[in-house]
């Protein structure tokens, strides 16, 4: 018997924080019957686990988290709910707290660690072997899937991204909470672009889309024109 494995298609969407990558990925995946894979939720889940089991000084005690992951490789896994990915932490769906400000402030410590990145990248690649996927993140088209079928890079001015995030969170602007949110986004941009390991950058063969004044369906319509 000869087994024939069909090559699956991967669409990579990269971009800065709060550029709408996750929403766009979900919308596009549903439209073309792919699966949407949220890499950020995996990093946030590991960070949440570290906070709960190691403490707020996780960035100073990363070796404890690395040792645990090495000994318990099934701590974090990917599950599917329809065509949407779910991060499973210790066999259970990761809680909403992975989106908390506390996790946001520390997730860079996990994202900048070579072992953690390798650990999560293996999960992503394993999923891509099994399904046609739309996967979003910071280095998907440059590091994780350099041979992706299609690549996109979303951009928007930091103030636009801050305004959209504030609207989601019910934060009025202008206001002091909005100013803090804006500063958080700018700081995250700097960390993502300047980190030594897998920095945020546009792949040479990626289509860049400025989403500053576009709604999600409009962004997806632009992408659809490049899916041949």
Residue 146 within a domain: yes
Domain range for 64 is 37-131
Residue 1 within a domain: no
**DSSP code of residue 98:** G
Sign of CA dihedral 192, 194, 198, 204: positive
Q: Where are the alpha helices (H) located in the chain, listed in sequence order?
A: 21-32, 39-53, 62-71, 101-111, 114-130, 158-169, 176-194, 216-224
Could you tell me if 154 and 104 lie in one domain? Answer: no
Query: Residue 147, exposed/middle/buried by CB under 10 A (0-12, 13-18, 19+)?
Result: exposed
Res 4: pLDDT: 40
Residue 4 within a domain: no
Question: Whole-model pTM?
Answer: 0.90
Could you tell me if 23 and 75 lie in one domain? Answer: no
Residue 41 within a domain: yes
**Do 211 and 155 contact (CB within 8 A), yes or no?**
yes
Longest dimension (CA), the chain: 67
Q: Report d(CA 8, CA 2) in Å as an integer.
A: 19
**Do 186 and 40 contact (CB within 8 A), yes or no?**
no
Question: How far apart, in Å, are the Cα atoms of 15 and each of 79, 91, 190, 213, 223?
Answer: 24, 30, 13, 16, 14
Pick the last residue of a domain from 131, 148, 175: 131
Q: CA dihedral in degrees (111, 115, 119, 124; nearest 10)?
A: 50
Res 5: pLDDT: 43
Instruction: Please report, in tens digits, the pLDDT of each residue of the chain (228 residues total).
Output: 344 445 699 999 999 988 999 999 999 999 999 999 999 999 999 999 999 999 888 888 899 999 999 999 999 999 999 999 999 999 999 999 999 989 988 998 898 899 999 999 999 999 999 999 999 999 999 999 999 999 999 999 999 999 988 888 888 888 998 899 899 899 888 988 988 888 889 999 999 999 999 999 999 999 999 997
Could you tell me if 19 and 52 lie in one domain? Answer: no
Res 7: pLDDT: 64
Question: How far apart, in Å, are the Cα atoms of 208 and each of 150, 201, 203?
Answer: 12, 11, 9
Residue 2 within a domain: no
Could you tell me if 122 and 138 lie in one domain? Answer: no
Could you tell me if 125 and 141 lie in one domain? Answer: no
Angle subtended at Cα 152 by Cα 88 and Cα 31, rounded to the nearest 5 degrees: 65
Could you tell me if 140 and 59 lie in one domain? Answer: no
Q: What are the φ and ψ backbone dihedral angles of 86, each rounded to 5 degrees?
A: -130, 130
CATH assignment at residue 219: 3.40.50.300
Residue 5 within a domain: no
Residue 63 within a domain: yes
**Do 17 and 34 contact (CB within 8 A), yes or no?**
no
Q: Which residues contact 107 (CB under 8 A, 6 or more apart)?
A: 43, 44, 47
Res 1: pLDDT: 39
Closest by CA to 200, choosing from 212, 187, 191, is 191
């Amino acid at each position: 018997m000869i087994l024939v494995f069909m090559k699956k298609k991967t669409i990579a969407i990269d971009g800065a924080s709060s550029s709408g990558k996750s929403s766009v990925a979900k919308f596009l995946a549903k439209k073309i019957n792919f699966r949407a894979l949220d890499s950020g939720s995996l990093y946030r889940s590991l960070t949440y686990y570290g906070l709960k089991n190691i403490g707020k000084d996780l960035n100073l005690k990363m070796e404890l988290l690395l040792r645990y992951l090495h000994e318990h490789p099934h701590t974090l896994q990917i599950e599917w709910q329809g065509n949407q990915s779910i991060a499973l932490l210790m066999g259970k769906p990761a809680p909403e707290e992975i989106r908390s400000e506390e996790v946001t402030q520390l997730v860079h410590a996990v994202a900048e660690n070579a072992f953690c990145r390798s650990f999560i990248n293996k999960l992503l690649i394993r999923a891509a072997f099994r399904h046609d996927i739309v996967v979003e993140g910071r280095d998907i088209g440059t590091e994780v899937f350099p041979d992706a079928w299609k690549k996109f890079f979303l951009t928007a001015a930091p103030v636009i991204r801050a305004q959209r995030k504030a609207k989601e969170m019910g934060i009025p602007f202008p206001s002091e909470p909005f100013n803090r949110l804006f500063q958080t986004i700018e700081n995250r941009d700097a960390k993502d672009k300047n980190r030594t390991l897998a920095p945020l950058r546009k792949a040479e063969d990626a289509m860049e889309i400025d989403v500053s004044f576009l709604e999600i369906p409009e962004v997806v319509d632009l992408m659809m024109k490049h899916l041949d």
